[in-house]
Amino acid sequence: MVFDPAVSPFRSALMGRIRGRNTGPELKLRQALWKAGLRYRLEGPTRLPGRPDLFFVRAKVAVFVDGCFWHGCPEHGTQPKTRPEFWAAKIARNRERDGQVDAALAAMGWHVVRVWEHELRQDLDGCVARIRALVKPTGLAERG
């Protein structure tokens, strides 16, 4: 058995993964960006590494919404009591892959923004501001 989806608190994380790209936190961010006048796309122009959740193609900004559990958030990344080594290794691999994806995207000239799932709950405006700063940098907007 790889995992027991009935064991909380992982059930919601697992369900989030199953739902994939349309998780609650991601939809919340999309709604806030739209209200802020930032027009993202859900698909990139090419097969970019790591499947970013949102794209701003002209500004070359790729946005990821990282689940606190799967990506090992420092605030909510507590180790499960069942099979802690298994989960620690899995999350470490996820983090390593995140780093590789960020480097690959940067090498292709993309800006990478990663927002934690909990940041969307605690500071949605701050997340939007971080993205806006890259998509519409002050003083450069007129040149675009």
Instruction: Tell me if 75 contacts Zn ion by CB under 5 A.
Output: yes
List the one residue from 95, 118, 132, 136 that touches Zn ion (CB under 5 A): 118
CB of 28 or CB of 76, closer to Zn ion: 76
2-41: which residues touch Zn ion (CB under 5 A)?
Answer: none
Residue with Cβ nearer Zn ion (38 or 120): 120
Longest dimension (CA), the chain: 57
Which alpha helices (DSSP H) does the chain contain, by range? 10-19, 24-35, 84-107, 117-122, 124-135
SS3 4: coil
Answer yes or no whether residue 76 interacts with Zn ion by CB under 5 A.
yes
Q: Which residues bind Zn ion (CB under 5 A)?
A: 68, 73, 75-76, 116, 118
